[in-house]
């Protein structure tokens, strides 16, 4: 969507995977979906350096509403859990140079059974604008799948009519795919800044692995439509939760950065192990993700639990690009790879200066016939940012 927003993939924090639909503030006051949780996470984004690394969005997901609309049909934030309303939270974020995102559903109900948008599209778009929201995720539970193409376009029009800049995140293709309909990605990327096209991510390597395979296996279709303003969203970063090893966490960070994908963490920022915090704050990975050219990465090799991904990044010169290169070893053993630069699509005559993303190693290459020789630890990644040498 060309609305001037999301020129690079949005970065921030999203409540869903870690905090789900926990509405029990009576027995779990610190972890329930409430204004307190979002304020606390916002404070952490600022205090712990996440905001300054680029993580500026803080997004509410399902379960923020009361069970019913008011007598005029307006959405009502849960009066106990969001007693000061959504505008208050948006102001809280803006004072801290953060942005607030919110959730609705193109259906009669949200996935968790709260009031959906059907019958209230223009009214809800206006409410989001009035509340000064910065991003709207529109889910697709309890909807008629044949209505999605029209419905998501119409909601986009209503958001646009408000004149407030709001990133529009659509679950549109996901609900088509699970109903065996082929998404029209051209249409979707024209009307949405982000779209979900695969199952909800879980805090496990198996789940992340399936997402990576889906994006690799379908890259010919998906990557055509990825670029500044319109991104495919493989779902949240699980880094900092319970079930990933540091190697698996690096793998998620690396694949999301090379795709490139939104970096929306869903974790508990009050309780982060330093190793995971360091991965999330890795400036070299973030720079690849946020490369201004916004070109899609590609999986160029997959065999025996080893895969290689590459992506053109800036700067470029006379048709030659700098490159991000990722080796992902999903095996139980260390892999040693020797490969000619031109087999990675790196053909710059004057060579490259490369830095390793997850260590301080540096590599210099003089031309495209140089050999890159690396060893990748079991269930880990090796990633390089290779800048072209311009003479
Ligand atoms: O509803 C759906 O499952 C969403 N999935 C998930 O992200 C979360 O928002 C959940 C809340 O009930 C998609 O949007 C594909």
Contact 311, 292 (CB under 8 A): no
Name the nearest CA neighbour of 252 among 230, 272, 269, 234. 234
Residue 27 pLDDT class (50, 70, 90 cuts): very high
Residue of 16, 114, 138, 183 to test ligand 1 pocket, by largest number of atoms within 8 Å of CB: 16
What separation in Å is there between the alpha carbon of 382 and the centre of ligand 1?
32
The finding on whether 139 has its CB within 6 A of some atom of ligand 1 is yes
**What confidence score (pLDDT) does residue 336 get?**
98
Q: Does ligand 1 come within 6 angstroms of the Cβ of 203?
A: no
355-369 burial, b at 16+ Cβ within 10 Å, e below that, comes to eebbeeeeeebeebe
Neighbouring CB atoms inside 10 A of 91's CB total 15
The string of pLDDT tens digits covering residues 224-276 is: 999 999 999 999 999 999 999 999 999 999 999 999 999 999 999 999 999 99
Give yes or no for residue 18 CB within 6 A of ligand 1. Answer: no
Active centre residues (catalytic): 139, 200
Model pTM score: 0.98
Measure 13 CA to ligand 1 centroid, in angstroms. Answer: 15
Three-class SS state of 233: strand
Residue to probe by mutation, ligand 1, list 101, 145, 171, most atoms within 8 Å of CB:
171
Residue nearest ligand 1's atom 5 by CA: 200
| ipTM for this model | 0.95
**Residue 190: what pLDDT?**
98
Q: How confident is the model at residue 117 (pLDDT cuts 50, 70, 90)?
A: very high
Residue showing tokens 């990557």: 223
Q: Report, as an integer, the average pLDDT of 199-226.
A: 97
60 lines ligand 1 (CB under 6 A): no
pLDDT in tens, 305-326: 999 999 999 999 999 999 999 9
pLDDT value of residue 90: 99
User: Of all residues in the chain, what percent carry a pLDDT higher than 90?
Assistant: 99
Atom of ligand 1 nearest to the CA of 174: 15
Q: How far is the CA of 141 from the centre of ligand 1 (A)?
A: 8
Give per-residue pLDDT as tens, 128-161. 999 999 999 999 999 999 999 999 999 999 999 9
Asked if residue 113 has its Cβ within 6 Å of ligand 1, the reply is no
At residue 106, the pLDDT reads 98
Between the alpha carbon of residue 205 and those of residues 123, 281, 308, the distances in Å are 41, 20, 18
280 pLDDT band, cuts 50/70/90, is: very high
Greatest CA separation for the chain: 71
| HEC-encoded secondary structure of the chain | CCCCCCCCCCEEEECHHHHCCCCCCCCCCCCCCCHHHHHHHHHHHHHCCHHHHCCCEEECCCCCECCCCCCCCCCCECCCCCCCHHHHHHHHHHHCCCEEEEEEECCCECCCCCECCCCCHHHHHHHHHHCCCCEEEEECCCCCHHHHHHHHHHHHHHHHHCCCCCEEEECHHHHHHCCCCCCCHHHHHHHCCEEECCCCCCCCHHHHHHHHHHHHHCHHHHHHHCECCEEEECCCECCCCCCCCHHHHHHHHHHHHHCCCCEEECCCCCCCCHHHHHHHCCHHHHHHHCCCCCCCCEEEEEECCEEEEEEEEEEEECCEEEEEEEEEECCCCCEEEEEEHHHHCCCCCCCEEEEECCCCCEEEECCCCCEEEEEECCCEEEEEEEEECCC
CB 192: neighbour CB atoms within 10 A?
28
Structure confidence by residue, pLDDT tens digits, 82-99: 999 999 999 999 999 999
Where does 105-184 have alpha helices with state H? 121-130, 148-161, 172-177
Mean pLDDT of the chain: 98
Note the pLDDT tens digit of each residue in 41-89.
999 999 999 999 999 999 999 999 999 999 999 999 999 999 999 999 9
- Give the pLDDT score at 70: 98
Distance of CA 199 to the CA centre of its chain: 14
Q: Among the atoms of ligand 1, which is closest to the Cα of residue 110?
A: 12
Report whether residue 112 contacts ligand 1, using a CB cutoff of 6 Å: yes
For residue 142, give both structure tokens. 């309890």
pLDDT-based confidence at residue 9 (cuts at 50, 70, 90):
very high
């Amino acid at each position: 969507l060309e609305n001037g927003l999301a020129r690079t993939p949005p970065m921030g924090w999203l409540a869903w995977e870690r905090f789900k639909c926990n509405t029990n503030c009576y027995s779990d006051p610190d972890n329930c979906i409430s204004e307190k949780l979002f304020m606390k996470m916002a404070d952490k984004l600022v205090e712990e350096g996440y905001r300054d690394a680029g993580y500026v969005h803080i997004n509410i997901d399902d379960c923020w509403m009361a069970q019913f609309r008011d007598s005029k049909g307006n959405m009502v934030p849960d009066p106990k859990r969001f007693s000061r309303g959504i505008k208050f939270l948006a102001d809280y974020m803006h004072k801290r140079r953060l942005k607030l995102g919110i959730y609705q559903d193109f259906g009669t109900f949200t996935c968790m059974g709260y009031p959906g948008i059907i019958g209230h599209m223009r009214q809800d778009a206006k409410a989001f604008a009035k509340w000064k929201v910065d991003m709207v995720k529109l889910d697709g539970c309890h909807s008629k799948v044949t209505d999605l193409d029209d419905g998501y376009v119409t909601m986009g029009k209503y958001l646009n009519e408000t004149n407030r800049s709001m990133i529009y995140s659509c679950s549109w293709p996901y609900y088509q795919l699970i109903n065996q309909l082929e998404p029209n990605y051209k249409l979707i990327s024209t009307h949405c800044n982000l779209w979900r096209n695969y199952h909800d991510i879980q805090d496990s390597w198996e789940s992340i692995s399936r997402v990576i395979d889906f994006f690799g296996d379908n890259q010919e279709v998906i990557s055509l439509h990825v670029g500044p303003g319109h991104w495919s969203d493989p779902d949240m970063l699980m880094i900092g939760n319970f079930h990933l090893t540091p190697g698996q966490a690096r793998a998620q960070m690396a694949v999301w950065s090379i795709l490139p994908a939104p970096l929306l963490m869903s974790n508990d920022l009050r309780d982060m192990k330093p190793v995971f915090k360091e991965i999330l704050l890795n400036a070299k990975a973030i720079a690849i993700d946020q490369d201004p050219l916004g070109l899609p990465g590609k999986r160029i090799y997959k065999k025996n639990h080893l895969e290689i991904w590459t992506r053109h990044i800036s700067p470029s010169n006379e048709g030659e690009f700098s490159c991000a290169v990722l080796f992902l070893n999903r095996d139980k053993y260390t892999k040693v790879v020797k490969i000619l630069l031109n087999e990675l699509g790196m053909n710059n005559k004057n060579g490259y200066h490369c830095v390793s993303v997850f260590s301080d190693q540096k590599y210099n290459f003089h031309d495209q016939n140089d050999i890159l020789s690396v060893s990748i630890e079991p269930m880990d990644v090796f990633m390089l940012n290779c800048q072209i040498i311009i003479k």
